[in-house]
Chains A and B, each alone.
Chain A
Amino acid sequence: MTPIEDTEVYKASVRDNMMRWQGNLRLHGSADWVIVVVETSDAKKKNKTNILPRSSLVDKIRNDFCNKQNDRCVVLSDPLKNSSRSQESWSAFLLKLRTLLLMSFTQNLGRFEEDMRTLREKRNQPGWSFCDYFMVQEELAFVFEMLQQFEDALLQYDELDALFTQYVLNFGAGDGANWLGSFCSPVKSWTGLLLRRPIDMEKRDGIQRGQASLLELRSYLFCRQCTLLIFLQRPWEVTQRALELLHNCVQELCLLEVSMLEGALDCWVFLSCLEVLHRIEGCCDQAQLEANVSHTVGLWAYATDKLKSLGYMCGLVSERGPLSLELNRTVDLLAGLGDEKAETVHSLQSPYKKLKEALSSVEAFERHYLELSHAAVEMYTAIGRMRSARLVGKSLAEFYMRKGDPEQAESFLQNALGSYVSEGWSLPVTHTRKQMAECQKLLGKTENYLQTSALLAGDANLTNEERIHFCQEILTFADQSTDSKAQKVALSMSYFAQLKQLQFRPATATVHSGTALQVELCLRSLMPVAVPLEQLAASVHFNLEQGETNGKTRGPQRRPYPGTVLFPLGNSSAMPPSAAVPSLELEEIQDRSPSDPRTLNSTGMVCKNTHLVMRRRDSSPSPDTPNLVSPVPVVMEDGAKMLMSGDVTLLPGNNSIVFSVPSQELGTYTLRQLCATVGQVQFVLPHISPLVQYEVYSQEPQLTVEPLTDQLLAGLPQRAKVRLQTGHYTVKKGDALQLTNIDSIPILTSSSCPATIFNSTAERVDESVLFIQSSDKVTSISLPPTPPYHTLEFQLEVLCVIPSDPVRPENQRLTNGEIHHRPRSYSHPDNHMTAINQRMSVDCPWSIYSTPISLTFYIPFKAKHSLLSAGNRKYIQVCLQNVSDVNFHLMDQRLTEKHHESSLELQSLNTKAHQLVCSKQSVYCVWDVRWKENMPVCLQCVFSASFSSASEEVSAFKPYHYEFQLERVTTLYSVRAEIMPAAGQQNCHSGSLCGLEMSITRLAEPDDDEEDDGGTEEKGQTETEEVCSTKLMYEVAGSSWVVYGRSSGLVSMPADANANHRVQVELMPLFAGHLPFPDIKVFKYLPPSANSASQPDTDSCVENGMLSLIDRPLDDQGDTASFCSQGSVHSVGSGEQQSRVLPMPRLEPFSPGQVFNHSQGCQVLVLPSTDDCVLEINAT
């Protein structure tokens, strides 16, 4: 700083000075300079007058020094004045200064880095030392640090770190550098990290001298990194790096094979962990710490781990305290720690003090170790790393076990075990369980210990020796204290053996009382050795409910399973819990669009049992799983029935045990539990699932009679099978069945018949002979002695007599309009055979009530009769139809009149006496009826024949009777018709009229039987009114004829014989050809008065009489068409009701034999009409 008065002064002295200064600078190789010219306004004023502007001071200086670098000269005007000009110049100055400074630094650092890089490139040359290079690069880091460029500083250290690491790795790969030898020297000091000082000069000196150990170098490096990271506000990176560092160091020491006192590294790691944690705690507040537990917890756990191994090493964990060897080791370790550093001498909680204290005594160690462990567990729990927490807990448990404090250990072990079990990690499970067993043994928790032992004995992960050991533990316990009355220890069976299969014999698992039932169990023993069981018992729950159906008979029921129950295989003790997870039931769904079923909207899978699969499983495991941490109390149900099997030896693997089941009481038995007793130990299977049941039932004796063939035919001897199921009843000698005889169904008594006895499984047991005694009222069948629940079968021959009266067709309408139900016979649905139900009653020895038995017989024949007439002559035809499926021989057909009237003679026109009637075929028989005197009004005939089954060898003919009645046999009128072509024509022509001449002739005298149903009273009236004439009505109708004019009319027939009446009707044929004559029907015409007189009710008689009088004119008009229609309405049932409303004349048809039509079946030739062009041909 030189005050310059004016330009002259400058030129005189200052310039030279500056030249010298510049020379000096150049001499030192520095290019960083700046010249500041301070101008004051005073000077300016002064110079204003005489100085030319071109030669100001600034310009001169610029000219002299800053020819090339114009920016090296800065003007500061009036620096002490508060003017805008001054401020402007200041800021310009500062800006320039900063730029120049930066430029300078960049330049210098660049040069430095260049040098450094050159040095690094030489690293493969011999004689290169990492320590020297370290110092160089650290210098750069220091510069950055001083410049507050922490990021860059950190980068330098990281580079150093990486370089060193790479060397160590190369060394491990066999590429060792010489300088690394110094780091391989034995480590003498393990003071741990020191993070309190920003720069640990001691260690730095060591590095500078090339005497630092690996640990010291690492410690120093990390210390620097830590400092910078904390400057950078990244404390959590410190913890992460610390953990990495510690792990790395351990690896590197191992890699470099640095010899170190055993435990020294542990000390170093422990101290370092705590130091880092302290450092972090020092720079963060509590809330921050808590929020970042996940970053620190690793260090805590690591420290805990290391302290633990130190403790084990120094004998601080055992119950007896450290041995002398271990004490020596402790002393050596403590010696390696050196003195406490000055920074922490006064703090109470320094890592150094902690370690020293922990190693000093057993109690102190325990205190510190527990403190650390609990802290680690709590932190892990807090951040939800439960598995890690449990692992720490487990090592805590190991510690407690070593200390001889199993109580504390147990809960930790349980927690860990539970976690492994629930997640199915078999190896950890086995390991933890082994520790658990030890713990429980120490605790004297016998039951739990035995349980765990059982699990371990069946654990496939263990060696056979271990398994046998645990098995022996159980057996030893079981053998001791047998005499004491102590409660037996109940353990879960699933640890010990698995129920694989259960089989019933017989397979139905349903027996009647008193029968032997066997249950075979298949038990798979998980034990490594044979285990003698004192007893194997299955408790049975007895339920009367189903057995109480004594009243009703019930046969053996079919169960859904055929006697064998397979139990789902639980895996060995440490199985994956997938066994407990129900398998998914998946189903495909397709969503089709409603408009077009061919297009698919979507398709997918649906899990049908989500409620099972998705169920939360973290709750306590089900009691059946063998992986229980704590045993669930297994209780054997008291008071239940037991199935026992003593002295069974369970061999490893599958064993088969057979129980025989008592079956005295009726009911349903459910197998509930299984219990194996080994001395004092009981293994209990608390639930047997799926449900295993068997039933004991009782059955009432039962008598059934069944036809031997599919249908019984009446009239022939038929066999029926009698089956007697004895049920609980024992048939004794002398017991007999008493059958009440019925006339229609005699039992064909043979004196003895064979009987067969079957047992309940339908095996033939015995055969014997029955004796049948028959009196006129009772047939007695003596039974052979039969044990209960057997079946006695024999055959009876029965015969059902065919009822001779014609069985009327069903649903016949009676006069009262009701449908007539025939209780005893009905038609067979298939072949229309008439069925007869026969009921018998049987008195059985076991019951005071008689047993009704019903048998259905079918009549194999159907008979029909008809009366045929030829003029006056009469014939009777009987049609016998075989409706059964059997062929029959038929002989000796006869027709007799019941009253044996002498005047009557029935002459058979049948030629064959012996005939075969095949199934579904008919035989017709005809008789000529002749009579001498008067024909009886009513003929009561009986058709009889003998038949026998054609298939039978020995034909025993049985009779068949058919009764029928014929009335009004005599022919009263004959009708004769003739068709005449139209006048002048040879033949009839279709479409043209022709005439029908009909003559009705009375053949017999009108007598009583002419109007039989009118009764005598009516006849009298008729005679008085109509004077010995009978009114007949005729009707002409034909499908191929059209009647012109009246088709019907009334004819009054005189009463004398051979009276004739002729009627002419005009007809027109519709077709050509041989046309049958139109039908001519003749009815009896009953006038209304006669009709009303037939009414039995007198009131209605009067009423009808009055009405009929009013009706009379209409009647005289003879509108026969209306009569005809009315007459057709007048059916049998409803006529009387209608006549009450409107009394009408009644038409009554003649019975078939009374009118003989001569021209029935006659034909007339009709020619086609001449002008017909169309010829109609009907081909049929």
Chain B
Amino acid sequence: MHQVRLQIKGSDEARYSYSIDVQISAVLQYWSKPKNYPLFIRSVPVQNELKFHYTVHTSLDVVEEKISAVGKAMADQRELYLGLLYPTEDYKVYGYVTNSKVKFVIVVDSSNTSLRDNEIRSMFRKLHNSFTDVMCNPFYNPGDTIQSKAFDSIVSAMMVQAS
């Protein structure tokens, strides 16, 4: 599993600088099996990584719930963006599911107010595009953890931007 962490600082004008935690992870539900193993997880900062993992893992519950709720109605024109999955005291968890049931989860620190719904949505879209590029790589074996440098750099750029 590939994990890189990045510290993102708040803006300079702020009286207090908080660390803003953004965790981006793509979780693949491999074909239609009940498999939800991480393809790619990346988080800043380091100290709470374990908690992130637990959070992302738990958020899959809600993702699945949302998929199944929507899936019955209109599976075709489903909105990929699932919105805020659930808030916790510390994080906001957003979800996104591709048509092939690859799940993207972005976890943002609750204190980060600069990221609105639209920003998150565009982050997901970028992530999805980049993921599509990864899948197009003929040397990528579907289901393997993602080790693409391009994907990695896009995620990093997004996390820097999110600060």
With A174-B13, A425-B57, A426-B1 known as contacts, the answer to whether A247 contacts B142 (CB < 8 A) is no
- Residue from B38, B50, B61, B111 in contact with A385 in the complex, judged by beta carbons closer than 8 Å: B61
In the docked arrangement, what's the CA distance between A247 and B1, Å?
32
Which A residue's beta carbon lies closest to that of B15? A174
Nearest 8 Cβ contacts at the A-B interface: A424-B37, A385-B61, A427-B53, A174-B15, A423-B36, A387-B61, A578-B143, A576-B37
Contact code string B9-41 (vs A, CB < 8 Å = 1, else 0):
000011110000000000000111111111000
Contact code string A575-591 (vs B, CB < 8 Å = 1, else 0):
01110010110000000
Contact code string B89-118 (vs A, CB < 8 Å = 1, else 0):
100000000000000000000110100000
Cβ contacts under 8 Å, A251 to chain B = 89, 110-111
In the docked arrangement, what's the CA distance between A1169 and B11, Å?
127
Asked if residues A428 and B57 are in contact (CB atoms below 8 Å), the reply is yes
Asked if residues B58 and A387 are in contact (CB atoms below 8 Å), the reply is yes
* B54 close to chain A: CB less than 8 A: yes
- Other than the known A387-B57, A578-B144, A617-B35, what 7 A-B pairs have Cβ atoms closer than 8 Å? A173-B13, A174-B13, A251-B111, A387-B61, A423-B37, A576-B37, A581-B143
With A173-B14, A174-B15, A387-B60 known as contacts, the answer to whether A428 contacts B53 (CB < 8 A) is yes
Cβ contacts under 8 Å, A584 to chain B = 142
In the docked arrangement, what's the CA distance between A251 and B32, Å?
39
In the docked arrangement, what's the CA distance between A577 and B29, Å?
12
* A116 close to chain B: CB less than 8 A: no
Contact code string A237-281 (vs B, CB < 8 Å = 1, else 0):
000000110110011001100000000000000000000000000
Which B residue's beta carbon lies closest to that of A428? B53
Asked if residues A427 and B58 are in contact (CB atoms below 8 Å), the reply is no
In the docked arrangement, what's the CA distance between A380 and B32, Å?
23
Asked if residues A425 and B61 are in contact (CB atoms below 8 Å), the reply is no
* B62 close to chain A: CB less than 8 A: yes
A sample of 30 cross-chain residue pairs with beta-carbon separation below 8 angstroms, ordered by A number, consists of: A172-B113, A174-B13, A174-B14, A174-B15, A246-B89, A250-B89, A255-B111, A298-B86, A383-B65, A384-B61, A385-B62, A385-B65, A387-B58, A387-B60, A422-B35, A423-B36, A424-B38, A425-B53, A425-B57, A427-B50, A428-B50, A428-B53, A428-B54, A428-B57, A431-B50, A577-B35, A581-B35, A614-B31, A614-B33, A617-B33
With A420-B57, A426-B1 known as contacts, the answer to whether A617 contacts B65 (CB < 8 A) is no
Nearest-neighbour CB distance to chain B for A239, whole angstroms, equals 12
Cβ contacts under 8 Å, B62 to chain A = 385
Contact code string B60-94 (vs A, CB < 8 Å = 1, else 0):
11101100000000000000000000111100000
In the docked arrangement, what's the CA distance between A427 and B41, Å?
11
Asked if residues B31 and A577 are in contact (CB atoms below 8 Å), the reply is no
* A618 close to chain B: CB less than 8 A: yes
Most buried by A among B89, B113, B141: B89
Asked if residues A578 and B37 are in contact (CB atoms below 8 Å), the reply is yes
List A584-623 residues whose CB lies under 8 Å from chain B: 584, 613-614, 616-618
Cβ contacts under 8 Å, B88 to chain A = 247
Asked if residues B58 and A388 are in contact (CB atoms below 8 Å), the reply is yes
In the docked arrangement, what's the CA distance between A243 and B113, Å?
18
* B152 close to chain A: CB less than 8 A: no
In the docked arrangement, what's the CA distance between A1135 and B65, Å?
103
Nearest-neighbour CB distance to chain A for B126, whole angstroms, equals 24
In the docked arrangement, what's the CA distance between A425 and B145, Å?
12
In the docked arrangement, what's the CA distance between A616 and B30, Å?
12
* A1167 close to chain B: CB less than 8 A: no
Which A residue's beta carbon lies closest to that of B29? A423
Nearest-neighbour CB distance to chain B for A161, whole angstroms, equals 15
Asked if residues B142 and A391 are in contact (CB atoms below 8 Å), the reply is no
Cβ contacts under 8 Å, B34 to chain A = 617-618
Cβ contacts under 8 Å, B49 to chain A = 427
Asked if residues A384 and B53 are in contact (CB atoms below 8 Å), the reply is no
Asked if residues B87 and A576 are in contact (CB atoms below 8 Å), the reply is no
Asked if residues A423 and B61 are in contact (CB atoms below 8 Å), the reply is no
Which A residue's beta carbon lies closest to that of B56? A425
Cβ contacts under 8 Å, A388 to chain B = 58, 61
Nearest-neighbour CB distance to chain B for A361, whole angstroms, equals 27
- Residue from B30, B58, B87 in contact with A391 in the complex, judged by beta carbons closer than 8 Å: B58
Cβ contacts under 8 Å, A428 to chain B = 50, 53-54, 57
The size of the chain A interface, using a CB distance under 8 A, is 43
* A1050 close to chain B: CB less than 8 A: no
Cβ contacts under 8 Å, A617 to chain B = 33-35
In the docked arrangement, what's the CA distance between A250 and B89, Å?
7
Which A residue's beta carbon lies closest to that of B62? A385
In the docked arrangement, what's the CA distance between A384 and B13, Å?
45
Nearest-neighbour CB distance to chain B for A382, whole angstroms, equals 12
Which B residue's beta carbon lies closest to that of A420? B57
Cβ contacts under 8 Å, A383 to chain B = 65
Which A residue's beta carbon lies closest to that of B109? A251
In the docked arrangement, what's the CA distance between A422 and B37, Å?
8
Cβ contacts under 8 Å, B64 to chain A = 384
In the docked arrangement, what's the CA distance between A1012 and B34, Å?
105
Most buried by A among B61, B88, B113: B61
List A369-410 residues whose CB lies under 8 Å from chain B: 380, 383-388, 391
- Residue from B15, B37, B87 in contact with A247 in the complex, judged by beta carbons closer than 8 Å: B87
Cβ contacts under 8 Å, B110 to chain A = 247, 251
Asked if residues A576 and B141 are in contact (CB atoms below 8 Å), the reply is no
Most buried by B among A251, A420, A577: A251
In the docked arrangement, what's the CA distance between A427 and B89, Å?
22
* A294 close to chain B: CB less than 8 A: yes
Asked if residues A613 and B31 are in contact (CB atoms below 8 Å), the reply is yes
- Residue from A173, A380, A391 in contact with B54 in the complex, judged by beta carbons closer than 8 Å: A391
* A507 close to chain B: CB less than 8 A: no
In the docked arrangement, what's the CA distance between A385 and B37, Å?
16
* A169 close to chain B: CB less than 8 A: yes
Most buried by B among A387, A420, A422, A583: A387
Nearest-neighbour CB distance to chain B for A458, whole angstroms, equals 15
Cβ contacts under 8 Å, B37 to chain A = 423-425, 576-578
Cβ contacts under 8 Å, B145 to chain A = 576
Nearest-neighbour CB distance to chain B for A293, whole angstroms, equals 12
In the docked arrangement, what's the CA distance between A839 and B37, Å?
75
Nearest-neighbour CB distance to chain B for A2, whole angstroms, equals 64
Cβ contacts under 8 Å, B58 to chain A = 385, 387-388, 391
Cβ contacts under 8 Å, B111 to chain A = 172, 251, 254-255
Nearest-neighbour CB distance to chain B for A114, whole angstroms, equals 31
Nearest-neighbour CB distance to chain B for A532, whole angstroms, equals 32
Contact code string A153-191 (vs B, CB < 8 Å = 1, else 0):
000000000000000010011100000000000000000
In the docked arrangement, what's the CA distance between A384 and B61, Å?
8
Which A residue's beta carbon lies closest to that of B49? A427
Nearest-neighbour CB distance to chain B for A163, whole angstroms, equals 15
Nearest-neighbour CB distance to chain B for A413, whole angstroms, equals 14
Nearest-neighbour CB distance to chain A for B62, whole angstroms, equals 7
Asked if residues A244 and B50 are in contact (CB atoms below 8 Å), the reply is no
List B123-146 residues whose CB lies under 8 Å from chain A: 141-145
Asked if residues B65 and A294 are in contact (CB atoms below 8 Å), the reply is yes
In the docked arrangement, what's the CA distance between A542 and B2, Å?
45
List A796-840 residues whose CB lies under 8 Å from chain B: none
Contact code string B142-162 (vs A, CB < 8 Å = 1, else 0):
111100000000000000000
Nearest-neighbour CB distance to chain B for A1149, whole angstroms, equals 85
Nearest-neighbour CB distance to chain A for B71, whole angstroms, equals 14
Nearest-neighbour CB distance to chain A for B67, whole angstroms, equals 12
Nearest-neighbour CB distance to chain A for B94, whole angstroms, equals 15
Cβ contacts under 8 Å, A420 to chain B = 57
In the docked arrangement, what's the CA distance between A169 and B113, Å?
8
Cβ contacts under 8 Å, A422 to chain B = 35
Nearest-neighbour CB distance to chain B for A70, whole angstroms, equals 54
Cβ contacts under 8 Å, A243 to chain B = 87
In the docked arrangement, what's the CA distance between A302 and B49, Å?
21
List A729-776 residues whose CB lies under 8 Å from chain B: none
Which B residue's beta carbon lies closest to that of A302? B89
In the docked arrangement, what's the CA distance between A576 and B40, Å?
11
Asked if residues B87 and A244 are in contact (CB atoms below 8 Å), the reply is yes
In the docked arrangement, what's the CA distance between A423 and B54, Å?
12
